[in-house]
Amino acid sequence: MIDLQSVGVRYPDGTEALRDIDLHIERDGFAFITGPSGAGKSTLLGLVYRNIVPTAGKVVVDGQDVAKLHPGRVPFLRRKVGVVFQEFQLLPRKTVWENVGFALDVVGAGRREKYHKVPISLELVGLAEKADAFPHQLSAGQRQRVSIARALVNGPPILLADEPTGNLDPDTSWEIVQLLLNINQQNTTMIVATHDREVVDRTNCRVVQLLQGYVVRDAKEGGKYDAP
Amino acid sequence: MIDLQSVGVRYPDGTEALRDIDLHIERDGFAFITGPSGAGKSTLLGLVYRNIVPTAGKVVVDGQDVAKLHPGRVPFLRRKVGVVFQEFQLLPRKTVWENVGFALDVVGAGRREKYHKVPISLELVGLAEKADAFPHQLSAGQRQRVSIARALVNGPPILLADEPTGNLDPDTSWEIVQLLLNINQQNTTMIVATHDREVVDRTNCRVVQLLQGYVVRDAKEGGKYDAP
Amino acid sequence: MRLSTVEFLLSEGWEAAVRNGLVTLAAISNTAVALLILGSLVLFGINVEHMAALQAQAAVITIELEEDADSGEVEKMLWANPLVGGVQFVSKEEALRRTAESVGLDAELLQIDTGDEPLFANPLPDSFIVRTTDPQDIPQVAREAGQIKGVAMVRYAQQLTEKLLALAQGIRISGVVVGMLMAVATLMVISTTIRLTIYARRQEIRIMQLVGATNWFIRVPFIIEGILDGLAGGAVAAAILLPIYSYVQDYVGKNLQFVDLIYSPEALLIFGLGLVLCGILFGAAGSLMGLHRYVRPA
Amino acid sequence: MRLSTVEFLLSEGWEAAVRNGLVTLAAISNTAVALLILGSLVLFGINVEHMAALQAQAAVITIELEEDADSGEVEKMLWANPLVGGVQFVSKEEALRRTAESVGLDAELLQIDTGDEPLFANPLPDSFIVRTTDPQDIPQVAREAGQIKGVAMVRYAQQLTEKLLALAQGIRISGVVVGMLMAVATLMVISTTIRLTIYARRQEIRIMQLVGATNWFIRVPFIIEGILDGLAGGAVAAAILLPIYSYVQDYVGKNLQFVDLIYSPEALLIFGLGLVLCGILFGAAGSLMGLHRYVRPA
Ligand SMILES: Nc1ncnc2c1ncn2[C@@H]1O[C@H](COP(=O)(O)OP(=O)(O)OP(=O)(O)O)[C@@H](O)[C@H]1O
Ligand SMILES: Nc1ncnc2c1ncn2[C@@H]1O[C@H](COP(=O)(O)OP(=O)(O)OP(=O)(O)O)[C@@H](O)[C@H]1O
Ligand SMILES: [Mg+2]
Ligand SMILES: [Mg+2]
């Protein structure tokens, strides 16, 4: 489903964010990405929803080479990929409800579909009662959960989550991770970048560890946050 | 140094973020604030640097009732209070160096003082080599560290940190926490809001736990993240 | 596009305009001011052109006949020219009387009939005073009248007429040029303003793109917002300009008899609608131009 | 304030203008367009006023004397009026000759001297043609000349002169009014634009406040930026307007002899500097007004 072949990313200022990455995530697969601050986790996720175009190698998502994608087709790739952004990226002038609904709006979903799906999604992240609040009226953890709800709402085949629990307490974090694992069971390919040792260690999933742009470890199953 | 007396905060939309809080942090004291997402941690910190004015009770910082502060004096209060913001709040059109230097600019520090202090501060958070990058060229964890460096740079008597390790890996987190504890030793009153169980449990400091706007626990010393 | 999408895009545009209160106000304000200036200039230009044309309308051609010319024949020939709008015969006696009167002489004195031979020969010829339908044509008609058999001399207030004609023409041409420049200037102000409102929300555009919105899906609400801003700006401009113009027209009509401003309720209504239309067009064009930079293939 | 702070604030303003390339361009563009329009109107108004005044300058008063008046005495009295700028004597013979010539009569004919009594009495009186220094004073001088002993009648092209005077006056008054309105409109456009540029950076202002910057510390760079934008806008407007004006002046001078546009390099230079100054003032005022909303006691 997601295939990185000798991928390198070099930002315009010369920073080598990723170097020679080979990574394959099969359909309905799951992987944690770990690594210290600045290791290249967000950059790696950015490749999948074509926020970043590789400067070397090839990124294939659902059979498509993203670098060769016609610009006009990019939105359609992004609709297949739900993303929980590390910095939330909520629309400030829309309510929580509208922010989540927006992911349905872009695919032209009808009113009925929205009224059906949005509340379910908000319920899942425990924010039903904040539906009419604007983002600036929320706590950071609540904003993060809105971002999660938006990524889930139209059941995308691929889900990327970038530090989805960075602003959540351990209990809520655990709930969210279980939610993500559940969704993964329902035919969703998933990559979760995280630095939450507790979460990674408790789940026994595949763990890909980055360091200065290199993959330094790829523990196929039963991976731990740190190298064994 | 910081004294909250029966403080309540009710946001304009009716949300009761804090209720009847009594909290005293002595000069050079230290406290963790914990609690689930939306418990009121950021709101509590906001009271201290007068980002939020209490709707009930009294907040006294360094002997001054912040509600009675003349608006023109607020900047001078804020210069005494270094804040690591939960969402970083960096100036997008300034480099890392300039962002950190800005905290010195506002107090009218000279060129020499800046050239002396800014590099030290960046070194402490491990970002010396990113000095000339702009915030959008950083990873989230790097941005967070810039925010920390800025809060430290002019050695404020009070330091507030709101989830300062939310985007940092465990190792970096631990380094940052030790840095903060060190600074606390050097005559700095400090409050750190966090949900990092590992950090709280390893340090044995005072822990104030919030829940739905109430202080539900105040473990004076040797506190743990969760109630014992 | 599905109906729900259309509905969504429309309501998005409206919502954005409302929730962005301050930005919307700024856009409307700049649009209104720009259209106000454009509208004032257009009204001013139209009136100056109108007045210059009116003045030129008063210009006539004087055609003097030879001693033995057949005035009837000449008149027929004059009328043959389709550009001619009016012909009036002035006999030599009539001409002398008018001349004498104009300098304060007693006309009777000059006409004392002393028998066969007058005391004093009337030196003035028979003449025609010719008007043209369009003052523009005076020089041409004068030239052609000179060719007619029996015509001795053709005169018209060449300098004055040509001045006025040149003036009217100059006003017309420079009016079109200035009008177009002003329209461009207005468009620039409006589009720059809307570009700024879009710039202020570039982050939102970025987020929409990240969530998979197509460029048109992002653009349409902005364009609708631009149209609404332009519409409101045009309406404000019309609402300010038209009453002021009516008042000025009234005042001028009463106090400066020789200046006559155009006034017709229908024309003003059309003019007002024109302003609103300009606002709408410029608003739409402004958004499109403004979006160009921020909404493009990622 | 310490020197380093002053230095910092200045460099902040400049840096912000540069790093905000696009926003700065937008602000400069709107400022330039607004000042361009204002400047054009001012140039236009000055020239129209100048022309109307020139025309009025040509107006004269004709003073007819009684049969037995002492022309020398009257002339002395006329000169006694400080408003009078020129006096020219026209004898009755001269007047008749001019009149005759103007209608194509042979002046000699009328003056055949048949001995003691002329064939035909000259009905025209001796007269003076009087000019005033300021055409404005014509009506008053005419009235006063009427009081002089020996003066039979005073005439001047009342209607024309008054028209022109009223026109020049009207242009002057409405010029001031329109100019002020335009200045307000320009200021509105500029301040709204700058307000939008500030709006686009409200988040940055908020951050500065959170870090302990005083309101003036935040404002000064914005004001400097506004001044720089205004300066650049004014300079652009001047750089566009002045060459165009010179060209138009030249063209008009060659092609429309009766229109004479004001031209003096020094005056244009001053005008250009005036535009730049307006830009600076409006830029500063615009930033202050724009900041009002975002920078205020927390
Ligand atoms: N500006 C606001 N207007 C209305 N409600 C607000 C506003 N800011 C925060 N709230 C609400 O107040 C409560 C406390 O918010 P606060 O940001 O203090 O939580 P927190 O403890 O910092 O949470 P987190 O761990 O998620 O950052 C939350 O329910 C939040 O929705
Ligand atoms: N737009 C950019 N221009 C230049 N360098 C960049 C840019 N974005 C990221 N970088 C750099 O690339 C490296 C990898 O960044 P990335 O955001 O992928 O890290 P990360 O693993 O997500 O870190 P974190 O855990 O802090 O979020 C960092 O050194 C960062 O400074
Ligand atoms: Mg990251
Ligand atoms: Mg918080």
Residues D193 and D261 in one domain: yes
Give yes or no for residue D253 having a pLDDT over 80: no
Q: Is the CB of B15 under 6 A from ligand 1?
A: yes
Domain-embedded: residue C298: no
Low-confidence ranges of chain C (pLDDT < 50): 114, 298
- The last residue of a domain, from among C139, C162, C185: C162
Which ligand 1 atom is nearest residue B9's CA?
12
Nearest CA in chain B to D19: B93
Chains that touch A (3 or more CB pairs under 8 A): B, C
Residues C21 and C47 in one domain: yes
Domain count, chain C: 2
Residue range D92-111: average pLDDT? 66
Residues C10 and C118 in one domain: no
d(CA A16, CA A20): 10
Task: Yes or no: say if C157 and C59 are a contact pair by the CB < 8 Å rule.
Answer: yes
pLDDT band at B163 (very low <50, low <70, confident <90, very high): very high
ipTM score over 0.90, yes or no: no
Q: What is the pLDDT of residues A20-79, one digit of tens each?
A: 999 999 999 999 999 999 999 999 999 999 999 999 999 999 999 999 999 889 999 999
Asked if D120's CB is within 8 angstroms of C104's CB, the reply is no
User: Which residues lie at CB < 5 A from ion ligand 4?
Assistant: A 139-140; B 42, 86
Residue range B134-159: average pLDDT? 95
Residue range B175-190: average pLDDT? 94
Check residue C79 and give left, alpha or beta (phi > 0: left; psi -120 to 50: alpha).
alpha
Domain-embedded: residue D296: no
Q: Tell me, what's the pLDDT at C175? A: 74
Asked if A198's CB is within 8 angstroms of B37's CB, the reply is no
Q: Tell me, what's the pLDDT at C84? A: 81
Q: In this structure, which amino acid lies at residue C113?
A: D
Task: Yes or no: say if C23 and C198 are a contact pair by the CB < 8 Å rule.
Answer: no
Interface check C240 vs D, CB under 8 A: no
Which residue of A74, A91, A105 is in closest CB contact with C298? A74
Q: Is the CB of B13 under 6 A from ligand 1?
A: yes
Asked if C170's CB is within 8 angstroms of D37's CB, the reply is no
Q: Tell me, what's the pLDDT at C212? A: 92
Give yes or no for residue D119 having a pLDDT over 60: no
Q: Tell me, what's the pLDDT at C256? A: 63
Q: Tell me, what's the pLDDT at C289? A: 84
pLDDT band at B209 (very low <50, low <70, confident <90, very high): very high
Domain-embedded: residue D86: yes
Asked if D217's CB is within 8 angstroms of B106's CB, the reply is yes
Task: Give the residue whose CA is nearest to atom 31 of ligand 2.
Answer: B138
Q: Tell me, what's the pLDDT at D167? A: 65
Q: Tell me, what's the pLDDT at D111? A: 54
Give residue D69's domain range: 58-162
Write the DSSP assignment of C240-290 as a string of letters: HHHHHHHHHHHHHHHH-TT------HHHHHHHHHHHHHHHHHHHHHHHHHH
Q: What is the pLDDT of residues D139-180, one digit of tens each?
A: 788 888 888 888 887 877 666 666 666 666 776 777 787 788
Closest Cα in chain A, distance from residue B108 (Å):
32
The H or E element that residue C77 is part of is helix C71-80
Range ranked top by mean pLDDT from A203-207, B137-141, D112-116, D263-267: B137-141
Q: Give me the half-sphere count of Cα atoms (radius 13 Å) on the Cβ side of residue C205.
A: 23
Residues D107 and D35 in one domain: no
| Ligand index nearest the alpha carbon of residue B144 | 2
- For residue C195, which residues of chain D lie inside 8 Å, CB to CB? 26
Residues C122 and C252 in one domain: no
d(CA D31, CA D35): 6
Q: What is the pLDDT of residues D7-64, one digit of tens each?
A: 777 777 677 666 677 778 888 888 898 888 888 888 887 887 777 666 666 667 888 8
Q: What is the pLDDT of residues D270-292, one digit of tens each?
A: 999 999 999 999 999 988 888 88
Which ligand 1 atom is nearest residue B40's CA?
18
Residues D39 and D187 in one domain: yes
Which of C10, C18, C211 is best to mutate for the A interface (most A CBs within 10 A)? C211
Which ligand 1 atom is nearest residue A169's CA?
25
Q: How far is CA D220 from CA C277, D11, D53, D227, in A?
A: 41, 11, 46, 10
CATH of the domain at D108: 3.30.70.3040
Residue range A153-172: average pLDDT? 94
Q: Tell me, what's the pLDDT at C107? A: 57
Asked if B141's CB is within 8 angstroms of A167's CB, the reply is no
Domain-embedded: residue D144: yes
Q: What is the pLDDT of residues B101-111, one digit of tens each?
A: 999 998 888 88
Q: In this structure, which amino acid lies at residue A183?
A: I
- Paired sense of beta strands B16-25 and B2-10, if any: antiparallel
Q: How much of chain B exceeds pLDDT 90, in percent?
A: 86
Residues C279 and C147 in one domain: no
Q: Tell me, what's the pLDDT at C298? A: 47
Q: Tell me, what's the pLDDT at C265? A: 83
d(CA D12, CA D5): 10
Task: Give the residue whose CA is nearest to atom 14 of ligand 2.
Answer: A40
- The last residue of a domain, from among C135, C162, C189: C162
Q: Is the CB of A129 under 6 A from ligand 1?
A: no
Domain-embedded: residue C297: no
Domain-embedded: residue D298: no
**pTM listed for this prediction:** 0.81
Mean per-residue pLDDT of chain D: 78
d(CA D63, CA C76): 46
For ligand 1, pick from B21, B41, B195 the residue to mutate: most ligand atoms within 8 Å of CB: B41
Task: Yes or no: say if D196 and C23 are a contact pair by the CB < 8 Å rule.
Answer: yes
Task: Yes or no: say if A121 and A146 are a contact pair by the CB < 8 Å rule.
Answer: no
Residues C120 and C7 in one domain: no
Token pair recorded at residue C183: 């329209």
Q: Is the CB of B43 under 6 A from ligand 1?
A: yes
Domain-embedded: residue C273: yes
Token pair recorded at residue A83: 């993303």
Residues D68 and D216 in one domain: no
Domain-embedded: residue D136: yes
Q: Tell me, what's the pLDDT at C144? A: 83
Q: How far is the CA of A9 from the centre of ligand 3 (A)?
A: 14
Q: Is the CB of B167 under 6 A from ligand 2?
A: yes
- Neighbour-count burial of C263, counting CB atoms closer than 10 A to its CB (0-12 exposed, 13-18 middle, 19+ buried): middle
Residues D50 and D63 in one domain: no
Q: Tell me, what's the pLDDT at B4? A: 96
pLDDT band at A99 (very low <50, low <70, confident <90, very high): very high
Residues D142 and D203 in one domain: no
Interface check D54 vs C, CB under 8 A: no
Mean per-residue pLDDT of chain A: 93
d(CA D85, CA A43): 87
Q: Is the CB of A139 under 6 A from ligand 1?
A: yes
Task: Yes or no: say if C18 and C10 are a contact pair by the CB < 8 Å rule.
Answer: no
Q: What is the pLDDT of residues B54-103, one digit of tens each?
A: 999 999 999 999 999 998 899 999 999 999 999 989 999 899 999 999 99
Q: Which of D272, D275, D279, D266 is nearest to D227 (CA)?
A: D279
- The last residue of a domain, from among C131, C162, C193: C162
Residues C178 and C272 in one domain: yes
Q: Tell me, what's the pLDDT at D298? A: 47
Q: What is the pLDDT of residues B144-153, one digit of tens each?
A: 999 999 999 9
Interface check B53 vs D, CB under 8 A: no
Which ligand 1 atom is nearest residue B18's CA?
14
